[in-house]
Every structure is written in C-alpha cells, then in structure tokens.
Amino acid sequence: MLFQESVRHSADLDLHLRSDLPPAAQVADVLREGLEPLAKLLEQHPLGVNVLRPGQDLIGVSSPAGGVLFTIDLNRMGSVIQSGIEEQLLEGLGTRDTANVKFVSRDHLLLQKAEAFLLRRFVKARDAYDIRFLLDSGARLNGHLRDHLADLLLGDIDREQINERIASVTDDLCRAELKGFLPKARYEALEKEHFQSLKDGLSELFGEWL
C-alpha cells in the first residue's frame, strides 16, 4: 500500500508467486496453523481460514464471530522477476527473532503500477497517485523493466489509448478516490493544482510512447 501516512485501509493481501502454486486449500491449512499463535495473542482464536472462491485462489481470514478480517489473493498476474526482489533483515518487536523479508523493489513496483494503470478495466486515480509517489521516491524504469513495459505497449496499447487513460484522471475522479484518504495538506495541495502533478507523472512515465 503506497498511500503514505493515510487512513486508507487495505483489507486484502496480494501474494505474487515466484513458483508453481499448491492447491488453495493446502495454502489455507498452512495459514491456519501459522496464524494460530497470533490469533491467540490478539484474542481472535480460532480464526476461520477458508477458500472463498474455488478456482480463483482467494482465501478469507475471519474472526471467531464470522466477520472477514482480510483476504489473501494468490496472484497469478504481475509476476516478479528475480532482479525485482530486495531482501532486508528485520527484528521482531519485543523478541530476539529475526527474519529475512523479501519484498518488491520500488523500480519493479513502478512497472507493476504502470501495468495496472494501463490494464485495469476502469482507470483509478490511486494508480496515478502511486506512480507520482514512486517517481518522486526515485523509482525508474531502466533496462529490462523498460523492455517489459515496451513489450506490453507494443502488443496491446497504442498512443491514443494511453492519452485517453491519462485524460480520464479528472478532478472529479481524483476527489472521489483521494479526498479523505491522503493527509489533508497533501490532498489540498493536489486539489489546488487540479491534480496536474499526477497527470505529469503519467506523461513522464509513458512519455517515450506518447
């Protein structure tokens, strides 16, 4: 989730696969066992961990009262290549436990956000905001990442379609999707400039193909 310092809550966890996927029911069994200590600590034991949509690999984690706490989407799209993975050693709070956590690099996140902006059924201002945020954080599409995007554009999307999608990032769309989720000062600055910096970020990212 890239909405920094926001009150936005994401109720799903997307796991991007790097190998073949075991059956969703088997994944649910592993999650049920692995989450048990945390569920007890948070007084949410026993958790319900069930496959919500057979065939779509969507798993729901629910409280003892039956309300869904979050979902887990075993994502078969937007695969992460080896060079797009970074690793960092993290320490647990109040324990001596450590873990090597693997996560997607900012550059690779920028590629995924570019694909999401172009391929979603409906344009989302959230994607435009995340692209601007990543660019401002130093993320860039170079080398093979640029080639991945070029292959997508060469096969499916032309300049006119890109321009139409950028034009779809209107003031009304941005207000509906960003107001109330971004820090007040950040949102007001964007609204004052009619969200032009978001459109400029999109033009910068896709400029080579416009």
What is the tens place of the pLDDT at every residue in 99-155?
777 777 889 889 989 999 999 989 999 999 999 999 999 999 988 889 888 988 887
pLDDT digits (tens, 9 = 90+) for 156-180: 788 999 999 999 999 999 999 999 8
At 91 the pLDDT is 78
Ordered alpha helix ranges (H), 17-142: 24-41, 106-119, 125-136
Output the pTM of the full model.
0.69
pLDDT at 115: 92
Flag whether 87 is in a domain: no
Say if CB 135 and CB 171 are below 8 A apart. no
- Give, in degrees to the nearest 5, the angle at Cα 159 between 153 and 165: 90
What residues contact 16, with CB distance under 8 A and at least 6 apart? 75, 78, 79, 80, 104
Asked if residue 112 belongs to a domain, the reply is yes
- Max avg pLDDT among 10-24, 41-55, 79-93, 168-182: 168-182
| 8, part of any domain | no
**DSSP 8-state symbol, 78:** S
Q: Which amino acid type is present at position 56?
A: Q
Residue 198 placed within a domain: yes
The total of structural domains in the chain comes to 1
Structural domain contains residue 55: no
The pLDDT of residue 2:
44
Beta-bridge mates of residue 38: none
For residue range 22-47, what is the model confidence (pLDDT) as tens digits?
A: 788 888 898 898 888 888 988 889 99
- Residue 6 in this model has a pLDDT that exceeds 90: no
CB neighbour list of residue 13: distance below 8 Å, 6 or more residues apart: 70, 71, 72, 73
pLDDT over 70 at 79, yes or no:
no
Domain span at residue 130 reads 106-209
- Residue 68: its pLDDT value, please? 85
Residue 91 DSSP one-character state? E
- Per mean pLDDT, which of 3-7, 15-19, 181-185, 201-205 is the most reliable? 201-205
Residue of 88 and 161 predicted with greater confidence: 161
Contact at 8 Å (CB) between 96 and 130? no
* pLDDT confidence of residue 1: 41
Average pLDDT over residues 67-88: 70
Residue 48 backbone phi and psi in degrees, to 5: -95, 125
Work out the average pLDDT over 74-98.
68
d(CA 90, CA 20): 27
In angstroms, rounded to a whole number, what is the distance separating the alpha carbons of residues 124 and 114? 12
The pLDDT, as a whole number, for residue 205 is: 96
